[in-house]
Amino acid sequence: MSTKVLIIDNNQDHLDTLSKELLVYGNNVATYSDGEEGFEAYFKFQPHLFICEPSLLESSIRGWEIAFNILRDDPKIRPYMVALANQPSRPVKALCEETGYDLFKVKPIDLFELLQWVRVAKTMFANNSPAS
């Protein structure tokens, strides 16, 4: 089973890079540069791993709001949620922790770390799925 990964980031270059790296390793990837479109897609795509830029400055909804809404609207089976920020910020990190992200990281990340998130997400999903 391939891991489904949803990435929301308003930096198209970053979306393309992460997507290509994940696709090479057989993952099913959906990317969005707009927070609202990404949030709507979440419920159709049902990802195992959710990576989002927490601020999403060019969007009408912020990444921490998306995480909060995901957990509020679909609390039974949740993805592994990573906030991937452009720069370190204690207030943004605190918001991400409060709204349900599992991990807060600052760009750039390396391939090893990205693939580790995929493994954690796969394990989390297997342990939380209704069949287990």
4-128 topology per CATH:
Rossmann fold (3.40.50)
Q: Mind listing the pLDDT tens digit for each residue in 111-132?
A: 999 999 999 999 988 887 544 3
Q: Mind listing the pLDDT tens digit for each residue in 3-47?
A: 999 999 999 999 999 999 999 999 999 999 999 999 999 999 999
Domain chopping of the chain, boundaries: 4-128
Residue 4: what pLDDT?
A: 97
Residue 65: what pLDDT?
A: 92
Residue 131: what pLDDT?
A: 44
Residue 61: partners with Cβ closer than 8 Å, 6 or more residues away: 35, 36, 39
- For residue 37, give both structure tokens: 């479109």
